[in-house]
Structure 1
Amino acid sequence: MTGNGIPDEYLDGYARILAAVASTGRRLTRDELLARRELGERAAEAGFGLRALVGAHLAAARIHWPVTTSPSNASTGTGTSTGTSTSTSTTDSVLAAIEQAVDAFAEGYERAQRLAVRQEVAARREFIDDLLYGRSDLGRLAERAERFGLRLSYEHAVAVAEGFVAYDEEDAVPRSVEQALIGRFGDRSVLLTTKAGRLVCIAPGDQGEVLAYFAKQAFAATDGGRVAIGRPRPGVGGVVQSYEEALNVLDLAERLDLDGPVLHAAELLVYPVLTRDRQAMTELVLSALGPLEAARGGAEPLIETLSVYFDAGCVAAEAARRLSLSVRALTYRLERIHKLTGADPADPVHRYTLQTAVIGARLMDWPAKSF
């Protein structure tokens, strides 16, 4: 064991190499270099720090520094006393050997570290894929989760951020969001990753402030991307459910052009309910809005008019502004809809049927896609 706690096995053969180099002036052989690399790999796998290992090599070089014995006054003939010294050429050879040995050792050490990092990244990615897709044995998945800071016996919620480009874990955007989270909350059993080009944050269900902060940071980092937050769910399968809820919300937001950078699944439960019975929704859309296909220009302009009118709270002036129409032109369109469908958008009784049908049409991309 060296003075700094490095076992002697990682210096095996080092002193012999220095002695051989001092006597011959040669460089290290291929086998010697290979042996130093292998020792470096083993030291990395054992968890020793590179700084301490290099220090151990330098200390061993000082202890085993080769010397030669020569007459101290041979050039003057004044005496026969002897001393020890190392010639300049020998010193150069030994220093070159130390450089070669340490470089080969560090190369092996770094190679082992790179391999360990790749294996860790691969294991993390495999765990994330299994977690978000609900694959693998649940008990084993829960055990693996603890390695990455998650305790899946508790409730967890998932937030998903979607930008204008796809991201992976090595990109600057995910790293900046992760650094912001760590800087604000430290280690709170939060996992931030990417999946299918989106940012994904998994946090304990009782820590809504973490996901809210993630949403804020992700919105800024993605230059105005959209964030969806699933409901907290218990157990291993709860992460999958919350993740899928968040994805469904993003899909709904795109189809319905929902406002707001942050959308919560808990606030949008009505939409999955409306589309759960697709056959019933199809019949409603065709019954309530089908007659609009007889209008000049087809049904789409009138469906857009209804959608904006409802989103504006049925305020004609605001809806006209959003559609870049005059109030008179908007009123004409509403009257046309009334005449074709028999339902008056201004009548509260008819309004609910038309609004539900419009939501269904947007969710099912009708009439662009026929039933």
Structure 2
Amino acid sequence: MNAEHRLGPVRGSTTLQVVFDVDPIRATSRALAERLPELTALVRRRLREKVPTYAADLDPALSVHETERIAAALQSFSDGISGTPEPNEDVIREATSEARSAAQAGLDLNSLIQTYRVAQAVIWDVVLTETASLIPDPDQQLIVQKHMSQFHFRWNDTVVSAVVRAYQDEQRRFFFQSRDRRLRSALRELIAGRTDALPDVAYPLAATHLAAVVWGDRPERTIQDIATAAGTEVVLSVESISATTLAWFALDDHMSAQERLRAGFVPAIGTGVAFGRLAAGLAGFRTTHHQAWRAYRVGWLTNSPVTHYADIALEALFLRDLQATRDLVTQELGPLDLSDPRTELLCETMRVYFAAGCNAAKAATQLQVHERTVAYRLRTVEERLGMDVISRRNELVVALRLLTALRAISSTTSPVGPVVRI
């Protein structure tokens, strides 16, 4: 029986029609759809290898834009080759949103465009493999591949054109039209070490500083609340990328100010704050900012209203690459079956046991169970992992901390940060 397939066009193109003994185009579409999570991860890995200058992982919002753009693009291509007119408005919105964030971050437009070429190559490799598997006849293979290639190039041209326009419009707005552009430019030069001065700003660079990154609702009010809690009126702030605001607080009563912030400061609902550590002088101005930005990445991803760099330095290091973090956790803890809710009991026992200096009696007291229960749980872990937990203590401690962070990322749903699926 012949099955007729009409290939849905990119906007403005001519509808294509192909007739085969089977419907290999729809079969290829289904094969791509079934592999979307795998292909999304593959494209992201390839981007890190092929376009290292496009460092989306430096900014969590941009990183999420990139992931969502890749997933939307793969779904759009899969739908498009099966007959749906693509790219749709959702795809264009994801792509242009990422382009605007990339422009704010000062990432190179050519690097952004190169990411589309890399993704296109990955998709095309899969298409060739699937069509070769599904279509025994080489002549039919060629016909199907030709139609898919034409669709793919038109799709890419449509999306990239929208991306270029969005990037250029946002670059003009952010760097040339916004009221903070001069201060933002000067701060970028100072933080990068290309200058040691801030022109026309009454802020003491020789002071002891505490940097913060604020995002969400009413950032100006939040910065004022932080200054009040820290007991200072000397504040420097500027709008930054991805709807964040950067701030520095010059402090006199250093330790008590940070203690007050840790003990009593809570931002309004819908707002997130990430702090660096106290640091003095020009070098400290830069260092505390870098720490606050790393803490922002963790806080934004895990939906924490307040994040202190001192508490999450390890997570900040690993979460720059979410896929590498997932890989490490799977390598160390995967045999425990992390999808089983009961596994958390074993993980919590290990956390407490390691924190207690590998003293089972202390761990049992903290867990409020019998010492034999702790021993039994640890034996269960060792049987599943195939190793002695003491011999892998350092790796397991790190993996357990990262598992907690990844689970927090997976459950993020509130306005402070969007849902991030891992």
TM-score (norm 2): 0.39
TM-score w.r.t. the length of structure 1 is 0.43
